[in-house]
Amino acid sequence: MPNQLLNVQDLETHFRTPDGIVHAVNGVSFSLNEGETLGVVGESGCGKSVTMLSVLRLIQSPPGEIVAGKAEYLGQDLLKMSNEEIRHIRGAQISMIFQDPMTSLNPVLTIGKQLAEPLIIHMNMSQEQARDRSVELLEMVGIPNAGDRLKDYPHQYSGGMRQRVMIAMALSCNPQILIADEPTTALDVTIQAQIVELAKRLRDELGMAVIWITHDLGVVAGIAQRVFVMYGGFIIEEAYVKELYANPQHPYTIGLIGSLPRIDETERHRLYSIQGQPPVLYQKPQVCSFAPRCKFAIDKCWQENPMLDPIAPDHRVACWVDLKTGKRR
Amino acid sequence: MSKEVLLCVDKLVKHFPIYRGVFQRQVGAVHAVDGVSFNIYKGETLGLVGESGCGKSTAGRTILQLYRPTSGSVHFDGADLVALKGEELRNMRRKMQMIFQDPYASLNPRMTVGEIVGEPLMVHNVAAGKEVEERVAHLLDIVSLSAGFASRYPHEFSGGQRQRIGVARALALQPSFIVCDEPISALDVSIQAQVVNLLEDLQKEFNLTYLFIAHDLSMVRHISDRVAVMYLGIIVELADRATLYKNPLHPYTQALLSAVPIADPVAEERRRRTILEGDVPSPVNPPSGCRFRTRCPIADTICAEQIPEWREITTDHFVACHMV
């Protein structure tokens, strides 16, 4: 049995807005084991980023508020820690990289200065030690002339290189967990391939666990071992990656996979399209939030929200309908 | 498919000058599009793919004369668009329209949907008064929006719905040619399929010809009949979709295809990848000879010296590479 690093139970996060309370995350539970790569898939607004930001307590409050649940890292509840305690976890034990590397880097500080900062704060390094380690980190993520490039500012780096710097910074304190929030969405495909390969190599070399948040089912297929799919603030399906793609059980997952054209498709066929729009979360959903868009919906779907229940070992689905029979499972 | 040429682009060039200093002297130019030539046949979809900054959007806009080209010609419907001006060009614009990438930025927030979709009809004096309303209602119906939406404002709609409004506006003047500039890349996955299916249906119904500009190679493969691959201002390869994806000849096309992730973990495991080193060079100062040579895994000395010729290797399969 591998060691469990992170155990999140019934996490709920709200945002108070002038128009009402947005129920962004509505009771999400998952765990992450040592050295494992977990893919989190969903469309914009499904709560995938907010879930991970909540775990690290990076939700701005107000308007955000974590209203329920716990998030245990090696047995300690991150949600109950003091600000001082969580600061020692963030960046050192669990670090995060974001979608847009330009807005995540400070434009008026050199790359060297920004790389050294976490090393000095978390690892108590001296200026010289931090500098040497920064060069080492930049070389590790494949930036040529690392020593000279420390003096450069973020705008002198290209998009792909900035994301490499972000990765170097996130890995600087040897974290146990790396949370990557759509790290390749802003990049071109050839650069995306570089970054995904880099992340895989570093993961294997350093043995850390990775949570990879994305809307791209293709990227997840190549990097994750286990995947969960989110919709309307809930996890609606969770399985090992091969099982999920070969045998998707939730109508939303099936729709998502079907709506993607494949680069290796041989015949042209009409894309499967899910009708309608994702839900607006001003109320906590009492019934299945996918029901209005679901072709398989039965009466039960409009009465009660399904729980995420196992249908096979390591495969959990939140759906009332058994798709083979079209009846309640 | 008939092989009637609708649009013929010949050696199209678009440079954007760079001015510097107190006297604003021109110190250089961004070579956004640097001599592209291709035909678009009636009723087909030509996909134009490439990474950001390769000039694909500029090419689309220059074809429609939204940017006036630096040199080259664009023959459409018997006329050279580059030579047309004023009223003549305006009349031509009825037949060619554009759908933009960002459905949030391309609709005026202060105009109602009815005004947005009806504006081209009034500008071109095609309809007036009550008839505009009727036409707008019909256009909204074509893109599966309710006619009641005409009095509402763009902010009340989701991204997918806004893109439908953009499509309705493009269809208002019954064009024969539409440039779709990354029409789906700002949309969520499940909404992308809705818009792509709509574009395909409209093409069949109204016999439209599309230039479909995108960076998503899987989507381009899905929607296009033929595909052109662009790199740093030039087209490096052009072929029908089956040939291009099965037998790509240019090393850039090969690398681009191998970089696309497949939504299938089993196929992902079996794949061998060519991963390109480095980034796209600056279009202000593109490399000599072949533009791809700085990242090319098979580049030789000739690649730095001579610009590769645009050759037809097999019927309708064009490529610009010394090594093929």
DSSP characters over A82-97: -HHHHHHHBTTTEEEE
B222 and A271: CB-CB below 8 Å? yes
Verify whether the Cβ–Cβ distance B188 to A43 is below 8 Å: yes
Is residue A239 within 8 A of residue A227, CB to CB? The reply is yes
Chain A residues close to B215, C-beta within 8 Å = 188-189
Average pLDDT over residues A173-187: 88
**Which two three-digit tokens encode residue A319?**
């759906």
Please give the residue of chain A at the shortest CA–CA distance from B54: A188
Q: What is the mean pLDDT of residues A169-192?
A: 88
Q: Which one of B218, B255, B257 has the shortest CB-CB distance to A261?
A: B218
> What would the pLDDT profile of A38-50 be if each residue is shown by its tens digit?
999 998 888 999 9
Determine which of A230-239, A265-274, B287-296, B298-307 has the lowest per-residue pLDDT on average.
Answer: A265-274
Q: For residues B193 and A271, is the Cβ–Cβ distance under 8 A?
A: yes
pLDDT at B266 over 90: no
Which residue in B147, B153, B224, B160 sits closest to B186, CA to CA?
Answer: B160
Is the minimum CB–CB distance between A272 and chain B shorter than 8 Å? yes
pLDDT surpassing 70 at residue B207: yes
The stretch B31-49 carries a mean pLDDT of 94
CA gap A249, A233 in Å, rounded: 18
Which whole number is the average pLDDT over B202-229?
93
Query: What pLDDT is recorded for position A30?
Result: 94
Bridge-based pairing of strands B317-319 and B234-240 is: antiparallel
Band of pLDDT at residue A280, cut at 50, 70 and 90: confident
Q: Please name the residues in contact with A26: beta carbons below 8 A apart, sequence gap of 6 or more.
A: A12, A47, A232, A233, A234, A281, A284, A285
pLDDT for A261 equals 84
Residue from the list B52, B258, B265 with its beta carbon closest to the beta carbon of A245: B265
Q: Which residue is closest to B241 within chain A, CA to CA?
A: A266
B66 in helix, strand or coil?
coil
Of B218, B257, B279, the CB nearest to A260: B218
Which tokens is B136 given?
């707008």
Q: Judging by DSSP bridges, how do beta strands A64-73 and A4-17 pair with one another?
A: antiparallel
Hunting for tokens 């953009």 — which residue is that? B166
Interchain CB contact of B158 with A (< 8 Å) = yes
List the single residue in A196, A263, A277 with the smallest CB-CB distance to B257: A263
* Closest CB to A274 among B190, B258, B279: B190
Q: A161 in contact with B at a CB cutoff of 8 Å?
A: yes
What pLDDT, in 10s, does the model give residues B159-176?
888 999 999 999 999 999
- Say whether the peptide bond before residue B286 is cis (omega within 30 degrees of 0): no
Tell me the C-alpha distance between A87 and A78, whole Å.
10
Residues of B in contact with A217 (CB under 8 A): 189, 263
- Quick check: B2 pLDDT over 60? no
- B152 to chain A, minimum CA–CA distance in Å? 18
Query: What pLDDT shows up at residue A238?
Result: 95
Are A160 and A153 spatial neighbours (Cβ–Cβ below 8 Å)?
no
A270 or A225, higher pLDDT: A225
What are the chain B neighbours of A190 within 8 Å (beta carbons)?
51, 255-256, 259, 275-276
Beta-ladder partners of A179: A96, A211
All residues at 6 or more sequence positions from A52 whose CB lies less than 8 Å from its CB, including other chains: A40, A96, A179, A181, A211, A213
The pLDDT score that the predictor gives to residue B228 is 96
Question: B188 and A44 in contact by Cβ < 8 A?
Answer: yes
Which H helix or E strand runs over B246?
A: helix B241-246
- With CA atoms as reference, the chain A residue closest to B257 would be A263
Three-state secondary structure of A256-325:
HHHCCCCCCCCCCCCCCCCCCCCCCCCCCCCCCCCHHHCCCCCHHHHCCCCCCEEEECCEEECCCEECCC
- What stretches of chain B adopt beta strand conformation (E)? 5-20, 25-41, 45-49, 71-76, 79-80, 96-99, 177-181, 209-214, 226-231, 234-240, 311-314, 317-319
Which pLDDT score, from 0 to 100, does residue B188 have?
Answer: 83
Can the peptide bond before residue A63 be classed as cis, meaning omega within 30 degrees of 0?
A: yes
DSSP letter assigned to residue A207: T
R_g of chain A computed on alpha carbons = 21
Q: Please classify residue B182 by burial: count the beta carbons closer than 10 Å to its beta carbon, then call 0-12 exposed, 13-18 middle and 19+ buried.
A: buried
pLDDT band at B229; cut points 50, 70, 90: very high
Specify the residue for token string 């600056």. B282
Q: Decide if B118 contacts B172 (C-beta within 8 A).
A: yes
Which residues does A221 contact at the CB level (< 8 Å), separation at least 6?
A241, A245, B261, B262, B263, B264, B265, B267, B268
Count of CA atoms in the C-beta half-sphere (13 A) of A220:
26
Q: Where are the beta strands (DSSP E) in A34-89?
A: 37-41, 64-73, 76-77
Q: Which of residues 16-75 of B touch A (CB under 8 A)?
A: 51-52
Q: How far apart are CA B219 and CA B48, in angstroms?
A: 11
Residue among B58, B86, B53 at smallest CA distance from B70:
B58
Task: Tell me whether A188 touches chain B (CB under 8 Å).
Answer: yes
In the prediction, which pLDDT does A274 show? 84
Min CA distance, A264 vs chain B (Å)?
A: 8
Half-sphere exposure of A29 (CA within 13 A, CB side): 10
Average pLDDT, integer, range B243-268: 90
Q: Which residues contact B139 (CB under 8 A, 6 or more apart)?
A: B117, B168, B169, B171, B172
**Nearest residue on chain B to A263, judged by CA atoms?**
B218
Tell me the mean pLDDT in the region B238-256.
Answer: 93
Mean per-residue pLDDT of chain A: 89
Tokens of A38: 């977990």
Least confident of A253-257, A323-327, B15-19, B108-112: A323-327
Alpha carbons within 13 A on the beta-carbon side of A116: 16
Report chain B's mean pLDDT, rounded to a whole number.
90
Any bridge partners for residue A181, and if so which?
A213
Give the single-character DSSP code of B148.
G
φ, ψ dihedrals at A226, nearest 5° = -125, 150
Q: Report residue A1's pLDDT band, with 50, 70 and 90 as the boundaries.
A: low
pTM of the entire predicted model:
0.85
Closest chain B residue to A192 measured between Cα atoms? Answer: B259
- The mean pLDDT of A221-246, rounded to a whole number, is 93
Contact B263 A197 (CB under 8 A): no
**Average pLDDT over every residue of B313-320:** 93
- DSSP secondary-structure letter at B81? G
Answer whether residue A159 shows pLDDT above 60.
yes
For the beta carbon of residue B135, count every other beta carbon within 10 angstroms. Answer: 16
Q: How far is A162 from chain B (nearest CA, A)?
A: 12
Q: Which of A122-136, B23-37, B136-150, B266-280 has the lowest mean pLDDT?
A: B266-280
A138-154: string of b/e by CB count within 10 Å (b at 16+)? bebbbbeebeebbebeb
Question: Is-contact A272 A260, C-beta < 8 A?
Answer: no
pLDDT score recorded for residue A209 = 94
**Predicted pLDDT of residue A14:** 92
